[in-house]
Structure 1
Amino acid sequence: MPQTDRHKKREIPIEFDFYNTLDKLPVEKRCTIIMISCGSTTIKINEHFQTVNAPAVLCISQYDKFQCIEKTHLSAKAFHFDPWYIKACLRFENLDDDISIDEKYVYERNMLYMFTKHSGNFQGIFHLTPQQYIHINELMLMIGAETYAQSDDYWTCRIRRMLRQTINCIYDIYVDQRKLKFYELSENTNPVTICTDYIHANYQNDITLNSLCELVHLNRTTLNQRFKQQLNCTCIEYLLHYRLKIAQELLSNTNLKIEEISSQCGFKYGSYFNRQFTKCLGISPSEFRKNPTGYSSFEGGKVRKL
């Protein structure tokens, strides 16, 4: 249902869900930004199956076919909006390239392609770095708070401004991904890319060096040499660092016990998780949780104050 403006007695074509379950998507006559803050989900979008792990953003529209297949400790928020909320001239009916619109609005229309032009490997799914997540999630929280508070006559203007900031952030990621399409063929056969993609999708499970070698049909020495050349670490070091990055997100954004976070991030023993977290980041998990916004994400060295 559209949001009722209690100041001017009108309907605003936006809705915000602080706790979206992904069960009633897409929304008719809406573009939707879904922020997945915690957990994971397996979805079927336009006949494509995809497992999405937090932190991630989904951009979908009324044109998509969407089904949530499975959820694990999922926490997601969603903002739904009609395209004309961004610019009055933009409608679902004129978002295609072959429909002429005023040149000064072309950029805004192009940004909405993230929502309306899904095909092949691109289905509007963006995996976020910790820095991207913190920024976009903060904007989403402010949009949600203002949607419900409607603090004064200008609340819709503030939401529109924050929505544009959010879309701009996601669009920057989108553009970078489109640039990478030039390298897709080589990356699809790059053993390092294959291994890192596998780690991103399966970090919760038992992953060994042997299993990664079997995945790409290389011996241990060759695979580690490739990782060293491209990422400046071994493949098992990369796995550890990625698990620790996910652990930071869970410590920052959930109330899960440290033992539960350890297990969800693929660590068999809580003592090993605590030891590696402290060794690699220079601070214990419990200390990090007390002040998560005061520290940067793991970037190859000690955690440092921002």
Structure 2
Amino acid sequence: MVSDKVELITVKKNNPNYILPVWFGEIDDNNDIITSKDRFLLVFVNKGTGIIKIGDQKRIFTSPCVFCLNEKETIELEKSKDFNSKVFYFHPSFINSIFTLENIKGQKEGLTMSDIRDLHWLDSFIKRKENYIGIYTMGPATTKHIESILNNIKNQMEIQSDGYWPCRTRSYFLELLFILERLYNSIDTMEEVVLDNIPDDINKIILYLHNNYQKKITIKDLSNTFHMNRTTLNNRFSEATGSTVMTYLIKLRVKLAALMLKDTMISISEIIERIGISDTSHFGRIFKKHMGCSPTEYRKLNSRFY
């Protein structure tokens, strides 16, 4: 939903003439996510699963994840379960006072080299790639860090304990943008299923897989749950996504395992249990097939803890 009626600003308590072009809030299943024609929007989804439509593109999402949208993009929750999120609206001038919605794009007239360096902080909101439409998934450590920063931002904006709260709010947000820059520069290259034009009953199966990957799932289970015989289910799923149901589930589990290997130091055995696989040797084989190396090697190559 796009709105020009909601004032997405924060006013200084002891000086109503001092206005900060930012706003913090929380959204759940009972509320729409509002976009604005003059604000960028960060949505941190800390709970829930669903299908989201950004512009004319649909994607499945599973918490924890972050949506980064610019002022021209719209967002709509088409389906969601137990959805809860923190939202932060900001004008680009909050990053650099010279930034406008016009000069940060195109020829970037009037911007110095220093301004252009600052502009890279907004890559997650402005730039789009074939495999990135503004959505990041994250491991537990990054999730915890982002949530902590957002809580600090919320506290600064609500309490306004002294005259430095606008500066502290901005410093916390820059810290958050630093994390987003790292995510943008290391966007996961594993395939994502584009949900545009996929039949609703197949979308429901995809949503089920994302919500239950930690459990044992068989074709028989899915056939019973969605009242479709196994052959029809597999054929229709393959036609819609280009992948069989079980191959899709394996890729999903491998992707989640890779996130935890990279962003945590929890044991591989615990990771395997959390993604719904019981056989260590089987996990090792499928992980190497999809990622090109063993789980241990992947962690050594990619973990920030090494």
Which TM-score band (shorter chain)? 0.5 to 0.7
> Shift of residue 207 of structure 1?
2.6
Matches within 5 A, 1:1-306: 1=7, 2-9=9-16, 10-19=18-27, 23-100=32-109, 101-118=111-128, 120-177=130-187, 200=210, 203=213, 207-208=217-218, 241=271, 244=274
Secondary structure of 1:93 counterpart: coil
Higher normalized helix content (fraction of residues) = 1
Report the RMSD for the aligned CA atoms in angstroms.
Answer: 3.8
Highest RCO, 1 vs 2 (Cα 8 Å, sep ≥ 6): 2
- The alpha-carbon distance between structure 1 residues 202 and 240, as it changes in their structure 2 partners (threshold 3 A), is farther
The answer as to whether partners of 2:123 and 2:184 remain within 8 angstroms in 1 is no
Query: How many angstroms apart in 1 are the aligned matches of 2:217 and 2:184?
Result: 30
Query: How many angstroms apart in 2 are the aligned matches of 1:125 and 1:243?
Result: 26
1:255-283 per-residue CA deviation (whole Å, 9 max, x = no partner) reads: xxxxxxxxxxx89xxxxxxxx8xxxxxxx
Query: How many angstroms apart in 1 are the aligned matches of 2:59 and 2:211?
Result: 10
Secondary structure of 2:157 counterpart: helix
The answer as to whether partners of 1:203 and 1:239 remain within 8 angstroms in 2 is no
Query: How many angstroms apart in 2 are the aligned matches of 1:130 and 1:6?
Result: 36
> Shift of residue 72 of structure 1?
0.4
Aligned residues: 222
Query: How many angstroms apart in 1 are the aligned matches of 2:75 and 2:42?
Result: 14
The answer as to whether partners of 2:49 and 2:210 remain within 8 angstroms in 1 is no
Query: How many angstroms apart in 1 are the aligned matches of 2:186 and 2:142?
Result: 13
- The alpha-carbon distance between structure 1 residues 167 and 242, as it changes in their structure 2 partners (threshold 3 A), is farther
The answer as to whether partners of 2:23 and 2:89 remain within 8 angstroms in 1 is yes
Structure 1's unaligned 5+ residue stretches are 189-197, 232-237, 246-265, 268-275, 277-298, 300-306
The answer as to whether partners of 1:8 and 1:153 remain within 8 angstroms in 2 is no
Query: How many angstroms apart in 1 are the aligned matches of 2:85 and 2:215?
Result: 23
Instruction: Write the letter of the residue equivalent to 2:25.
Output: D
Instruction: Write the letter of the residue equivalent to 1:74.
Output: F
Identity %: 21
Instruction: Write the letter of the residue equivalent to 2:97.
Output: A
Query: Which range moves more in the overlay, 201-210 or 46-55?
Result: 201-210
Structure 2's unaligned 5+ residue stretches are 1-6, 193-207, 223-233, 259-267, 279-298, 300-306
> Shift of residue 113 of structure 1?
2.4
Query: How many angstroms apart in 1 are the aligned matches of 2:38 and 2:81?
Result: 29
TM-score, L = length of structure 2: 0.62
Secondary structure of 2:102 counterpart: helix
